[in-house]
Amino acid sequence: MDLDPYSRIALVRLPLRLTPGWPRLLLLLTPPLVGLVAAVALLARPGTSTAPAPVPSDQTVALPTPAGLLIDVTGAVAHPGLYRLPKGERVSAAIAAAGGLAPNADPDRLPDLAQVLRDGQQVKVPALGAPSAGSTRAAKLDLNAATVQQLATVPGFTPEFAQAVVDYRTQYGGFTSVRELVTVLDLSPADFARARPYVRV
């Protein structure tokens, strides 16, 4: 394309002027531009999925295990009480769960250690000198007549609770039912289950 003489002079005289400090400005703008280009390229790749990552197997919520057997271990063991044991366990496992035999356990009258447990079973470990099963009824203590020292030997009773029994019968004229140990004196159900075979009114 032919230009007139004036246009040629204008082109020759128009110098290229750059803003002072442009190299520094170019260095500042280059990293953001490169990052933007890389991000666009990554998002444009085929097959890119935004689905959430799978939960690691060690974070999977486990289902609760079925409840086992509830066993009441009483008598000459280290820690009498209620214990939850797996199905299929034997009497020996119930005694072990209760801390094992107490020093005063009668080795000649232990329950069958190989017996398979059933839900709700009571495992009784006799103590040395304690009455046998046949004479338990005769050995029961009368709540309205026994002394504090006698009541303190009842399984499930503490010396303080034995004193509370004597104080109650002195103040209110005695007990009419052994259930009043729970309803009046707030004996726990577990301790009442242990004491029930040894007391009467």
pLDDT in tens, 54-81: 555 555 455 555 568 999 999 999 999 9
Q: Where are the domains of the chain?
A: 69-125, 133-200
Split at pLDDT 50, 70, 90, the class of 106 is: confident
User: Per-residue pLDDT for 15 more than 70?
Assistant: no
Split at pLDDT 50, 70, 90, the class of 128 is: confident
Split at pLDDT 50, 70, 90, the class of 10 is: very low
The pTM assigned to this predicted structure is: 0.38
pLDDT at 47: 52
pLDDT at 139: 64
Q: Which H or E run includes 150?
A: helix 148-151
pLDDT at 135: 45
CATH of domain 133-200: 1.10.150.320
d(CA 108, CA 7): 128
Are 105 and 130 in contact, with CB atoms under 8 Å apart? no
Are 81 and 98 in contact, with CB atoms under 8 Å apart? yes
Average model confidence (pLDDT) across the chain: 78
Q: Which residue has the tokens 């004996």?
A: 187
Question: What digits encode the pLDDT tens for the residues 154-195?
Answer: 999 999 999 999 999 999 988 999 999 999 999 999 999 989
